[in-house]
Amino acid sequence: MGSSLPVLSGRAVVRVFESLDWEAVRQTGSHIILVKEGEIVTLSVPDHREVAKGTLRSLIRTAGMTVQEFISAV
């Protein structure tokens, strides 16, 4: 479990997920909504300068990934 999450902005998080075939479909207020073909879930990424680690962890879990897989894609 020694992998610690990087501190990323909301837009940087979106870019990482986009590199993993997620697609930004719209921005509602301060959140960017991502969808992926074949996935039931959507990701709602806060458009902040820094995404809280707990929020990022939750997004990674919702995307069905491990923290390590996410970090490898950064």
The per-residue pLDDT for range 16-63, each reduced to its tens digit, is 999 999 999 988 899 999 999 999 999 999 999 999 999 999 999 999
Task: Say if residues 5 and 53 touch (Cβ distance below 8 Å).
Answer: yes
pTM check: above 0.85: yes
Radius of gyration of the chain (CA): 11
Pick the CATH number of 10-73 from 3.30.920.30, 3.40.50.10490, 3.40.50.2300, 3.50.50.60: 3.30.920.30
Count H helices, E strands: the chain? 3, 3
The pLDDT of residue 72 is above 50 = yes
Q: CA-CA distance, 13 to 31, in Å (whole number)?
A: 12
The pLDDT of residue 5 is above 50 = yes
